Amino acid sequence: MTEELSSPQQPLNRKRVQRLMRNMDISAISPQIKTSLPGVGHRVDPYLLRGLTVDRANQVWCSDNQPKLPTDEGR
Q: CB-based burial of residue 12 (10 Å sphere; 0-12 exposed, 13-18 middle, 19+ buried)?
A: middle
pLDDT band, very low/low/confident/very high, at 75 (cuts 50, 70, 90):
low
- Does residue 4 sit within a domain? yes
- Does residue 14 sit within a domain? yes
- Does residue 48 sit within a domain? no
- pLDDT digits over 52-67, tens only? 999 999 999 988 777 7
Percent composition of the chain: helix, strand, coil (DSSP 3-state, to 5): 20, 0, 80
Q: Which domain holds residue 18?
A: 1-27
- Does residue 13 sit within a domain? yes
Number of domains the chain is built from: 1
- Does residue 52 sit within a domain? no
Give residue 59's pLDDT.
93
